Structures are given as C-alpha cells and as structure tokens.
C-alpha cells in the first residue's frame, strides 16, 4: 500500500506512519504547524496544495488525522474550525476520489451530546460544541465526496507523541510543576491509546472495511478517574495525593461524551484481528509509563 498521512506530526499521524512501515507499506507524511524530520509541509486549508500533493505522491490510501482538536479554541474560532475540520478534509476527500484513492477521516465522540452512551455507530449524532459540529459536518462531507471512505470516531486519544499535548502529558506537566490538575468529573470517555488507534485504522484500510467505525478504548470512565489511573502508573505518590475534581467549564454545557467502545459489535465481519477495539487502559498505560515514573503528584 502507498499511503499518505496528512498530519503525521501529531500523535495519531506519527503512530500511523510507524504502523504502516512496520507492516511493509510505503508511507509519506505531512506536517502543518509542527515540522518534523522527513515530513512535507501542508496547509490543509490550501486546497490547491492538497490536490498537488496527492497528485505527486499517488497514494492508494490517504489517512487524515490532521485538524483542530482543541475544543475551547474551536468554540472561540468557529470559522477556522470549520475551514479545517470540514472544508479542508472535504477538499482532500474529493482529491482522493479523483485519484482513485481511499480516504480515512478521524472524528470524535464530541459528535454526541453525551446523554446516555456508550454510543454505537447507529446512534444519532447531536453535537453541542463548535468542535463537535465541525467534525460531524466533516464526516458528512467526506462520505459524500469519496466512495472508498472510512470515518473513524475515537475518544480521548493518549499515548507517546512528539508534541506532548494530549491529556496525559498535560497532567504530567501540571503535576511536575506543582500546579495540580483539575480534570472534569462530568465528562466521560473511552480513552484510546494512539498506537492501537493507528493499528486499527491501517487494518480497516487493508481490508477495505468502508463506512463509519467507532475505534475507542474498551473502558468508559470520567476524566478524573482516568487521571487517577494515570498517576498510579506514572508516579509514586504520597498517600492521599491526587488530582482535584472539577465540573466542566461553565462557559458552555458540559459535553459528557462517552464515545463508542464496541466497534466489533456493529456487524460480524468487524473484528480486524486484535486491533478493533483498542485495548483497555491498563496494558497501554503500563507499556508506556516505565520511563516516566518520576512524576510527583501534589494536592490542590
């Protein structure tokens, strides 16, 4: 497989390149605002540049984890969020269709309103936030533009990454700086290990399992509980030390998205060997935590 990863400097993108190459595929990657060795620069909102790159690299599959994912930033910059998460990926999906390539788009559990769950692929999307709406409209645009499309919804992606910006890194930095960390107790999710998300993505493409898939961790818990589990694995903490609870920001309704954690139940053929759904948190965190066990967690 010749593959193009748009957004290969991010956590899912970097894992995708690693998985593709480990499985014997040819992988080419791009970066946006975070350059990385061996990656080509690409602005997803420059539609002409996207078309040129696809024409030059002639991929058989395009994986697009690039996008704006900071929920509060998207809320304050709605035009930019839709320009990237909807319009940019739509242009890329159209170019993929013209080139005869398949297209994999990454969406989020934020397309749901968080009432009930865990959510299946058949559940109705009801996004509450700008970010969720931009991702939902991106899903629809991709499915309309490309016949060989795969849309993957995931939830609180974590794991090793060069930019060190995911939830676990934020927790580690805050605690090491003695600032404490206040994860929300009313936001539930299915934390998803980025190497597992990447492995599932590649397997879905290899097997041409098109359509909408939920690829998320097999356990559902709130962010506070997840933070406690992370601290337990990454640190030797003093008795009673732990992150502080807090409700979601009062700026907007809480998004208590749990995400879908049952991809394999959608239809019998959906079980790409061991990759879908990704593993529960314990083996993933444990396999990653060993070099980072000097973390000190403080009370706030």
Give the residue numbers marked as catalytic.
131
Residue written as token pair 């090793």: 160
Distances in Å between the Cα of 17 and the Cα atoms of 27, 42, 55, 63, 161 are: 6, 16, 20, 10, 12
The set of long-range contacts for 137-140, using a CB threshold of 8 Å and a minimum separation of 24, is 137/82, 137/85, 137/86, 138/67, 138/85, 138/86, 138/89, 138/90, 138/105, 138/107, 139/105, 139/107, 139/111, 139/212
Are 263 and 199 within 8 A, CB to CB?
no
Strands (DSSP E) found in 9-51? 26-31, 40-41
| Residues, the chain | 300
φ/ψ (deg, to 5) at 35: -60, 150
CA 287 to CA 228: how far, in whole Å? 17
């Amino acid at each position: 497989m010749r593959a193009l990863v748009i957004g290969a400097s991010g956590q899912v993108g970097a894992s995708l390149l690693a998985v593709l190459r480990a499985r014997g595929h040819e992988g080419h990657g791009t970066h946006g605002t975070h350059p990385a060795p061996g990656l080509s620069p690409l602005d997803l909102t420059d539609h002409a540049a996207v078309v040129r790159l696809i024409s030059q690299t002639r991929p058989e599959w395009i994986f697009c984890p690039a996008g704006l994912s900071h929920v509060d930033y998207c809320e304050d910059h709605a035009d930019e969020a839709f320009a990237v998460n909807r319009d940019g990926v739509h242009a890329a999906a159209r170019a993929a269709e013209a080139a005869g390539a398949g297209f994999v788009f990454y969406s989020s559990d934020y397309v749901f309103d968080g009432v009930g769950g865990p959510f299946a692929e058949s559940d109705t999307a009801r996004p509450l936030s700008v970010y969720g709406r931009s991702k939902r409209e991106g899903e629809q645009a991709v499915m309309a533009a490309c016949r060989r499309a795969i849309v993957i919804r995931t939830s609180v992606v974590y794991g090793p990454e060069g930019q060190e910006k995911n939830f676990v890194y934020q927790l580690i930095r805050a605690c090491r700086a003695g600032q404490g960390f206040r994860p929300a107790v009313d936001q539930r999710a299915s934390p998803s290990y980025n190497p597992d998300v990447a492995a599932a993505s590649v397997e879905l493409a290899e097997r041409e399992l098109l359509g909408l898939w939920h690829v998320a961790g097999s356990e559902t818990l709130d962010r506070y509980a997840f933070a406690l589990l992370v601290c337990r694995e990454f640190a030797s903490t003093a008795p009673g030390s732990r992150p502080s609870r807090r409700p979601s920001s009062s700026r907007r309704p809480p998004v208590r998205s749990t995400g879908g954690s049952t991809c394999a139940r959608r239809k019998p053929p959906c079980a790409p060997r061991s990759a879908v759904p990704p593993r529960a948190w314990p083996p993933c965190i444990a396999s990653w935590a060993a070099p980072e066990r000097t973390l000190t967690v403080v009370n706030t």
